[in-house]
Structure 1
Amino acid sequence: MSDYRTVNLASWDERAPAHAASADYGVAAFADDPAHLSAVVRYDLPLLGDVSGLRGVHLQCHIGTDTVSLARLGATMTGVDFSPAALTEARRIAALAGAAVDYVESDVYAAADALGRGGFDLVYTGIGALCWLPDIRRWARVVADLLRPGGRLFLREGHPVLWALADPLPEGGVLALEHPYFEQPEPTVWTEGGTYVETEAEFVHNTTHEWNHGLGETVTALIDAGMAVTGLAEQDSVPWEALPGHMRRVAHDEWQLTDRPERLPHSYTLQAVRLPV
């Protein structure tokens, strides 16, 4: 396997400015409306609850719109990402929003070394993050290392069944499982242009390496790392058009399978707390 980190970093560095410029991220709204929150965080609120006064870290924060949103809800936030281009945009957006967010450039697996252990009340991981990581057990240990005893993980992620579907779907929209559901040693390698937002930008770095992680694998990894699972909810929508041509936009800027969406778990929210050592 080639160096997945180098390959993926080239893709993310190239796409971060296009993401920040796209209307899909709504960056201007953060400057125009001091109460504005990202659609992702607005969706999370019923399960997320009150975060005011918490010291939080957002792993794989990308351009930081969710990080700024959590800061606006009263948390003292640190954002972590391995892409310097993404963090350049994140710092610019935080300044536009008037949000005091500390951004740290680090690979997610090195986050506890970069930030220190046991100092956070909240680890937040937004949707579309875990697929870039080859080892879910290693990730879980980082989460546990960052949290103080009693501190909480909040994770919403694309469902591993969704990630395992053929892309594009076969003719007729049949839900066909084509890619691994369980974590594999070798990645699924994608080579495709474009990105998940509307943009006229053309990209050069179009290869990425990705991994799926089964729901049981993720839960077990957290338990083995010293966490207690406190909530697991599966949802029938995701915040992007994951299956182009086969989805409709629904409430909260989410997307849902057009034909019998009850067949597909689209995403899930997993919460856990750090047990006393």
Structure 2
Amino acid sequence: MTGARCTGVDLSPVSLDIARELADRAGQAIRYVEANVLEAAAAVGEQVDLVYTSTGTICWVQDLWTWGRQVAALLRPGGTFFFRDSHPSANSLADHEPRLLAPGYRYFPLPAGQALTYADGMTYTDGDRSLITQPRNYEWPHSVSEVLMALVRAGLVIIEVDEQDDLPWPLHPAMTAEGEAYVLPAPWREQVPMAWSVVARKPASADLPGERARSGGNRAPGRAESCARSGRVMRPVGESRAPGRGESCARSGRVVRSVR
């Protein structure tokens, strides 16, 4: 990316080795950091102008409050956070029957210490059919309100929220390819959102709590801004893996299990 210094965060050293190889082949100088996304700010060690979380990320994260604080901590004052993922409503759809579009999984967050878990012997990465040695998966559902409030409580101001009808993988068996994305057939396409996105911003230093009093400013905060001033935020570029067909099929075996 010309004119920008990029940093990627991921939990897997193997994935990071592949990312570095791709960056070298593309002639891009990208810094990659191995870390849990819930500890990303300390691992990266600097603040950035833009934090981006890609599709298929937060289902692997149990603690969204810490996630939100990590996003905020990584952003410079005035920096922007962009998030896009599968829509929580779409994640709750039963995914074993192409003629059925109905809830089949949990929408709301699980109680602390529980996870949706299933075993799948193959990676969700398309094209690789080799067996993996650690087939147990753990996922956590996150509602729209939980995601937004994790950012607001971390001190970010929500700028825009949008919903889309396409995804980069077929989450539901009725979805078909359209260009580089997958969509539901009509009329379901117009009835159910499949993805959503959020743009949030970290207030500039003059807008942070306490700064206005020291500077003598007397501007009254807007409604969204005043609601957002209750915390701080990460850079979950890490764990940014979009689930593929293998994972989508495996979800029909998900069960709730306590996590110790």
Shorter-chain TM-score tier:
0.7 to 0.9
Aligned to 2:154: 225
Letter in structure 2 aligned against 1:258: P
**Higher helix fraction: Structure 1 or Structure 2?**
1
Moved over 6 A (4+): none
Equivalences for 1:262-273 in 2 at 5 Å?
262-273=190-201
What is the aligned counterpart of 1:86 among 3, 6, 15? 15
Instruction: Answer whether contact 1:196 1:240 (CA < 8 A) is retained.
Output: no
Aligned-partner Cα distance in 2 for 1:181–1:208: 18
Higher relative contact order (CA 8 A, sep 6+): 2
Aligned-partner Cα distance in 2 for 1:211–1:217: 12
Aligned Cα root-mean-square deviation (Å): 1.5
Aligned-partner Cα distance in 2 for 1:174–1:262: 16
Aligned-partner Cα distance in 2 for 1:177–1:192: 22
| Pairwise CA distance, 1:199 | 2.6
Instruction: Answer whether contact 1:153 1:272 (CA < 8 A) is retained.
Output: yes
Aligned-partner Cα distance in 1 for 2:22–2:143: 34
**Does the C-alpha gap of structure 1 residues 190 and 85 become closer, same or farther in structure 2, counting only changes over 3 Å?**
same
Aligned to 2:234: none
Letter in structure 1 aligned against 2:44: L
Question: Gaps (5+ residues) in structure 1?
Answer: 1-70
Aligned-partner Cα distance in 2 for 1:262–1:181: 20
1:188 equivalent in alignment to 2:138: no
Identity of aligned residues (%): 36
Q: SS of the residue aligned with 2:169? A: coil
What is the aligned counterpart of 1:204 among 118, 128, 133? 133
Q: SS of the residue aligned with 1:187? A: strand
Equivalences for 1:10-25 in 2 at 5 Å?
none
Of 77-86 and 258-267, more deviation after overlay is shown by: 258-267
Question: Gaps (5+ residues) in structure 2?
Answer: 209-260
1:121 equivalent in alignment to 2:49: yes
What is the aligned counterpart of 1:149 among 77, 83, 90? 77
Equivalences for 1:95-174 in 2 at 5 Å?
95-116=24-45, 119-169=47-97, 173-174=99-100
| Higher Cα Rg, which structure | 2
1:175 equivalent in alignment to 2:175: no
Q: SS of the residue aligned with 2:199? A: strand
Of 212-221 and 184-193, more deviation after overlay is shown by: 184-193
Q: 1:208-253 CA deviation, whole Å, 9 max, x = no partner?
A: 1001111111111111110001111100000111123x111113x1
Letter in structure 2 aligned against 1:95: D
How many residue pairs get matched? 201
**Does the C-alpha gap of structure 1 residues 167 and 193 become closer, same or farther in structure 2, counting only changes over 3 Å?**
farther
